[in-house]
C-alpha cells in the first residue's frame, strides 16, 4: 500500500509512526510533514489546504490511501476531490465534515437524531442574540458558528460578558466570516472527555478515549490552546460511559448523516461533558485530536492500516481493533509565549536521550532542521508521550523524557493528568 498522510503536527507524526509499522505498507509520504515524519516517511512540500496539488500528487504517485490529519483540508473538500479521482481517503466529505465546520449544522444533527446536548439557538442578528441572552441570563455560552481555531467559544459568567462576545463576533468581526452567525447555548457542568470512533459511513467502532488539557497554565488556568497534554484511557469516561457515548451520540449521528445522503467516513471525535444527567455532546470534530492522537495511537495493538482501509471500503461491521492495556500520557512542549507571540528558530537539544527513556516516544510538531540543528518553528513544538501499566507510570515515563530535552526557550505544563492521578492515588471511598 502506498499511503499519503496530510498535515505537519504531532498528530500526523503519530499517524506516520503507526502506519510505518504496518507490514502492508510499501511507501509512506507526508505532506508537508516535519522532521519527525521525515524519520518514517518521505516529506512532500505541499500545504494542507492545497487540495488540487494533493490530488495531483496522489494520482501521479499511485497513492492507494490518503489520511488527512487536520480538519481544514476536509472542510475544503479533499475527500470529495480524491473520490472523483478514484483515490481512497480516510476522512469525511466536505458535507459530512460540516459536523465540525458548522456548529449549527452539528446541533441540527443532534436535534434530528435525539442526541443529548445543550439546548441552543442560532442567530444572525446581533440585537436578537443580545435580547435572547438578556432573557436567558448567565451563565451562558456564545459560539461562533464557523471554524475559529479554538477562539470561537465564550463561556460567559455574566450577561455583560456574553454581550461582549456577541459584539466581538458579530459586529467587530474579530473572527471574520466564522463569527457572523452565532450559536447561543445552555451552560452545562461536568468533567470533559473525548470519545473517538472509526466510521465507514454506516458502522462505527470505538477508537479510544482521552482527556486533554486545553488551557496554557497549570491547574487548567490561562488562555485556551490547541491542547497542552492528554492522557488515555480517561478514568472519568468509564467503559459503561464509553458504550453510552457510542450508542447515544456516535451511532445516531452516523445514522442521521447517512439518512441525509452524506455518510461520514473517517474518525469522528465527540467532545463530551459528563453531566449529572449522563454524557452530553459539546462538539463534534471530523478527525483525530492533537495531542489525543499521540496518546491513542501508541495504545493501538492492531495494525492501523487495514482498519483505515476497512473504513474507506464500508467494511467495519465485523472489524475488531485490539488495544494494549497500557495507559499513556502526553506532554506538549511549546514555545515560551504560546498561545500569544513567541520566538521561532530557537535551538532544541539532542532528542536521543529522551527517546531512550523506556516507554517514551517523542513526536514532532513545530520543528525544523536548519544547518543540521533542530530548531522550533511553531507554537506547539514537541509532544512527549509516556506509556506504562497505569497512568502514574505513563506520567513518570513522559516527564523523565521531557526532563532529558534541553530547550531553554520552551515551556510545558508539569501537571498533565492531575485530576486523574489524584483519583488514582487517593481513591475516594
Decide which of ligand AMP, ligand GLY, none touches 145; Cβ closer than 5 to 8 Å per partner kind.
none
Residue 100 in contact with ligand AMP, rule: CB under 6 A: no
In the complex with ligand GLY, the residue whose CB is nearer, 136 or 151, is 151
In the complex with ligand AMP, the residue whose CB is nearer, 40 or 332, is 332
Decide which of ligand GLY, ligand AMP, none touches 292; Cβ closer than 5 to 8 Å per partner kind.
ligand GLY
Residue 187 in contact with ligand AMP, rule: CB under 6 A: yes
Instruction: Determine the 3-state secondary structure of 363 from DSSP.
Output: strand
Distance CA 212, CA 230 (A): 4
Of 97, 396, 378, 108, which is closest to residue 263 (Cα–Cα)? Answer: 97
Distance CA 16, CA 204 (A): 23
Query: Shortest Cβ distance from residue 383 to ligand GLY (Å)?
Result: 11
In the complex with ligand GLY, the residue whose CB is nearer, 234 or 289, is 289
Distance CA 159, CA 148 (A): 22
Residue 218 in contact with ligand AMP, rule: CB under 6 A: no
Residue 35 in contact with ligand AMP, rule: CB under 6 A: no
Please give the radius of gyration of the chain, using alpha carbons only, rounded to the nearest integer: 21
In the complex with ligand AMP, the residue whose CB is nearer, 25 or 99, is 99
Distance CA 56, CA 36 (A): 24
> Which residues, listed in sequence order, are joined to residue 7 by a DSSP beta bridge?
32
Among residues 274, 282, 334, 391, which is the contact residue for ligand AMP, using CB under 6 A? Answer: 282
Residue with cell 519527525: 36
Task: Considering only residues 49 through 68, tell me which ones interact with ligand AMP, judged by CB under 6 A.
Answer: none
CA distances (Å), origin 162, targets 116, 137, 151, 225, 416: 24, 9, 14, 21, 30
Q: Which stretch binds ligand AMP (CB under 6 A): 29-37, 186-194, 295-303, 376-384?
A: 186-194
Size of the site for ligand AMP (CB under 6 A): 12
Of 387, 389, 392, 394, which is closest to residue 426 (Cα–Cα)? Answer: 392
Residue 153 in contact with ligand AMP, rule: CB under 6 A: yes
In the complex with ligand GLY, the residue whose CB is nearer, 357 or 384, is 384
Query: Shortest Cβ distance from residue 58 to ligand AMP (Å)?
Result: 31
Decide which of ligand GLY, ligand AMP, none touches 311; Cβ closer than 5 to 8 Å per partner kind.
none
Q: Which residues touch 328 (CB under 8 Å, ≥6 apart)?
A: 231, 232, 295, 296, 298, 299, 385, 386, 387, 394
Decide which of ligand GLY, ligand AMP, none touches 354; Cβ closer than 5 to 8 Å per partner kind.
none
Question: 94: which 3 cell numbers?
Answer: 466536505
- Find out whether 29 and 42 touch, Cβ atoms under 8 Å: yes
Decide which of ligand GLY, ligand AMP, none touches 416; Cβ closer than 5 to 8 Å per partner kind.
none
Distance CA 420, CA 30 (A): 34
Distance CA 323, CA 296 (A): 9
Decide which of ligand AMP, ligand GLY, none touches 153; Cβ closer than 5 to 8 Å per partner kind.
ligand AMP
Decide which of ligand AMP, ligand GLY, none touches 285; Cβ closer than 5 to 8 Å per partner kind.
ligand GLY
Residue 241 in contact with ligand AMP, rule: CB under 6 A: no
Q: What is the DSSP letter of 300?
A: B
Task: Considering only residues 321 through 360, tell me which ones interact with ligand AMP, judged by CB under 6 A.
Answer: none
Decide which of ligand AMP, ligand GLY, none touches 118; Cβ closer than 5 to 8 Å per partner kind.
ligand AMP
In the complex with ligand AMP, the residue whose CB is nearer, 146 or 298, is 146
- Find out whether 67 and 3 touch, Cβ atoms under 8 Å: yes
List residues binding ligand GLY (CB under 6 A).
212, 226-227, 285, 289-290, 292
In the complex with ligand GLY, the residue whose CB is nearer, 37 or 294, is 294
In the complex with ligand AMP, the residue whose CB is nearer, 409 or 415, is 415
Distance CA 205, CA 257 (A): 16
Query: Shortest Cβ distance from residue 136 to ligand AMP (Å)?
Result: 12
Alpha carbon dihedral 188, 191, 257, 182, in 10-degree steps, equals 40
Among residues 100, 185, 290, 292, which is the contact residue for ligand AMP, using CB under 6 A? Answer: 185
Question: 391: which 3 cell numbers?
Answer: 497512568
Is the bond preceding 375 in cis, omega lying within 30 degrees of 0? no
Among residues 168, 180, 191, 192, which is the contact residue for ligand AMP, using CB under 6 A? Answer: 192
Distance CA 12, CA 5 (A): 7
Contact residues: ligand AMP, CB under 6 A: 118, 141, 153, 155, 185-188, 192, 271, 282-283
Amino acid at each position: 500500500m502506498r499511503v499519503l498522510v496530510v498535515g505537519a503536527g504531532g498528530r500526523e507524526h503519530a499517524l506516520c509512526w503507526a502506519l510505518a509499522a504496518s507490514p502492508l505498507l510499501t511507501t509512506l509520504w507526508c505532506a508537508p510533514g516535519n522532521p519527525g515524519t521525515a524519520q518514517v516517511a518521505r516529506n512532500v512540500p505541499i500545504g494542507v489546504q492545497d487540495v488540487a496539488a494533493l490530488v495531483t500528487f496522489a494520482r501521479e504517485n499511485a497513492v492507494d490511501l490518503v489520511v488527512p490529519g487536520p480538519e481544514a483540508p476536509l472542510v475544503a473538500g479533499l475527500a470529495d476531490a480524491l473520490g472523483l479521482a478514484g483515490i481512497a481517503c480516510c476522512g469525511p466529505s466536505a458535507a459530512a465534515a460540516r459536523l465540525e465546520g458548522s456548529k449549527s449544522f452539528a446541533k441540527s444533527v443532534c436535534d434530528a437524531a435525539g442526541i443529548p446536548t445543550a439546548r441552543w439557538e442560532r442567530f444572525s442578528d446581533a440585537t436578537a442574540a443580545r435580547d435572547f441572552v438578556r432573557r436567558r441570563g448567565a451563565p451562558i455560552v456564545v459560539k461562533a458558528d464557523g471554524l475559529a481555531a479554538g477562539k470561537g467559544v465564550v463561556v460567559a459568567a455574566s450577561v455583560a460578558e456574553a454581550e461582549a462576545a456577541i459584539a466581538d463576533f458579530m459586529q467587530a468581526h474579530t473572527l471574520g466570516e466564522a463569527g457572523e452567525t452565532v450559536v447561543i447555548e445552555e451552560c452545562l457542568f461536568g468533567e470533559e472527555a473525548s470519545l473517538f470512533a472509526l466510521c465507514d459511513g454506516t458502522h462505527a467502532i470505538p477508537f479510544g478515549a482521552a482527556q486533554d488539557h486545553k488551557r496554557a497554565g497549570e491547574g487548567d488556568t490561562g488562555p485556551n490552546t490547541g491542547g497542552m497534554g492528554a492522557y488515555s484511557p480517561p478514568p472519568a469516561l468509564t467503559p459503561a460511559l464509553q458504550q453510552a457515548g457510542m450508542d447515544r451520540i456516535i451511532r445516531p449521528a452516523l445514522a442521521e448523516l447517512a439518512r441525509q445522503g452524506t455518510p461520514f467516513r473517517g474518525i469522528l471525535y465527540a467532545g463530551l461533558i459528563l453531566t449529572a444527567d449522563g454524557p452530553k455532546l459539546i462538539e463534534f470534530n471530523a478527525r483525530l485530536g492533537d495531542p489525543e492522537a499521540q496518546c491513542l495511537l501508541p495504545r493501538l495493538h492492531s495494525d492501523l492500516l487495514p482498519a483505515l482501509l476497512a473504513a474507506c471500503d464500508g467494511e467495519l461491521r465485523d472489524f475488531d481493533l485490539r488495544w494494549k492495556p497500557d495507559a499513556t500520557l502526553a506532554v506538549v512542549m511549546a514555545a515560551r509565549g504560546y498561545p500569544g507571540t513567541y520566538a521561532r528558530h530557537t535551538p532544541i537539544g539532542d532528542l536521543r536521550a529522551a527517546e531512550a527513556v523506556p516507554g517514551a516516544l517523542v513526536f514532532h510538531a513545530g520543528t525544523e532542521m536548519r544547518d543540521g540543528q533542530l530548531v522550533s518553528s511553531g507554537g506547539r513544538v514537541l509532544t512527549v508521550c509516556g506509556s506504562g501499566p497505569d497512568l502514574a507510570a505513563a506520567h513518570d515515563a513522559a516527564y523523565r523524557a521531557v526532563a532529558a530535552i534541553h530547550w531553554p526557550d520552551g515551556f510545558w505544563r508539569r501537571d498533565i493528568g492531575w485530576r486523574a492521578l489524584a483519583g488514582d492515588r487517593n481513591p475516594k471511598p
